[in-house]
Amino acid sequence: MIGNIKKTTEILNKYGLSVKKSFGQNFLIDENILRKIVNVSKITKEDGVIEIGPGIGALTEHLLKNAKKVLAYEIDTRMIEVLETELKDYDNLKIINEDVLKIDQVYDENYFKECKRVVIVSNLPYYITTPIISKLLLNEPKIEEMYLMVQKEVGLRLSGKPKTKDYNALSVFMAYLSECRVEFDVSRNCFLPAPNVNSVVISIKRIEREITVNNESHFLKFIQNIFIQRRKTFVNNLSKAYKIDKEKVMDILRRNGYKESLRSEELSLEEIYKLYKEIFTSPYN
């Protein structure tokens, strides 16, 4: 198996590869963590898996052994030869040498036609964490679950709960579309080279939206705007972004039992939505 320090160093030397920091390359060298990722994703021989950034194939090999089919997107052309050679014994792998952010549809209907469910499993390059998660949640309804290694700080924000220091616009966005939780911690020492941050593996499960909005992008922008400055009150953030009558918004807050000093991090998704509706459909605006 590829995922230990000896084998990783051997492969990097064999192919004359240096690590590309600009591609977020931190290779997993801990077999226990690789097994834990596969276990938490509960993939079976009936499932399809999309891996983002297979690198030299450490996680890929575990996925190939446990899933029916694996589709891997890798931006670094140098890795393609490694993957094709080192994983040549597996007939359930398709590799695409592309930037996953530039792919219109990551899910491949035809390739996965015999799979019961399709999930994403990836040790993500950290620089694409937020754009790829939003892209997949907003545009790819066929992908219902994701199991992702992310920077710990980001994982805590993605899964943040109201009234905690990690809760922000990203947490509300995630709560709107999914159930997101931290599954387990991963030390920086499990990677080669070791990044200067710790990591967590998170799970993201798409949910039936309880909230339906007419203009989704307007609502998502509203979520961003009310968190734009953490130290400011809800009303102050709001009045910076929109032409609103502060007094009228204060009135809406009072009627809903909030103080004027209300901060956005005190509000759940449902509470934010209720205020959003009142503010933008109230006769004052």
Instruction: Return the number of the residue (59 or 269) whose C-beta is nearest ligand SAM.
Output: 59
**What is the spatial distance between Cα 101 and Cα 128, in angstroms, rounded to a whole number?**
8
- 18-57 residues in contact with ligand SAM (CB under 6 A) are 23-28, 52-55
Secondary structure in 3-state letters for 78-93: HHHHHHHHHCCCCCCE
CB of 28 to ligand SAM, least distance (A): 4
Among 76, 183, 265, 278, binds ligand SAM (CB under 6 A): 76
Q: Which stretch binds ligand SAM (CB under 6 A): 41-49, 83-91, 93-101, 209-217?
A: 93-101
Report the chain's terminal Cα–Cα distance, integer Å.
62
Closest residue to ligand SAM using C-beta atoms = 53
Q: Which stretch binds ligand SAM (CB under 6 A): 72-80, 155-163, 167-175, 259-267?
A: 72-80
Instruction: Return the number of the residue (128 or 180) whose C-beta is nearest ligand SAM.
Output: 128
Q: Interface with ligand SAM includes 155 (CB under 6 A)?
A: no
CB of 23 to ligand SAM, least distance (A): 4
**Distant-in-sequence, close-in-space partners of 223: CB < 8 Å, separation ≥ 6:** 169, 172, 173, 176, 272
Q: Under a CB-based contact definition with an 8 Å cutoff, are residues 123 and 150 in contact?
A: no
Q: Interface with ligand SAM includes 101 (CB under 6 A)?
A: yes
Q: Interface with ligand SAM includes 171 (CB under 6 A)?
A: no
Instruction: Return the number of the residue (54 or 160) whose C-beta is nearest ligand SAM.
Output: 54
**Distant-in-sequence, close-in-space partners of 74: CB < 8 Å, separation ≥ 6:** 53, 54, 55, 80, 83, 95, 96, 97, 98
Count of residues that interact with ligand SAM, criterion CB under 6 A: 23
Instruction: Return the number of the residue (27 or 273) whose C-beta is nearest ligand SAM.
Output: 27
**What is the spatial distance between Cα 107 and Cα 163, in angstroms, rounded to a whole number?**
36
Q: Under a CB-based contact definition with an 8 Å cutoff, are residues 56 and 12 in contact?
A: yes
Instruction: Return the number of the residue (201 or 249) whose C-beta is nearest ligand SAM.
Output: 201
Report the run of H or E that residue 230 belongs to, with start and end.
Answer: none
To 5 degrees, how large is the angle CA 104–CA 140–CA 162? 125
Per the structure block, which two tokens stand in for 182? Answer: 């931290």
Binding site for ligand SAM (CB under 6 A): 23-28, 52-55, 58-59, 73-76, 79, 99-101, 123, 125, 128
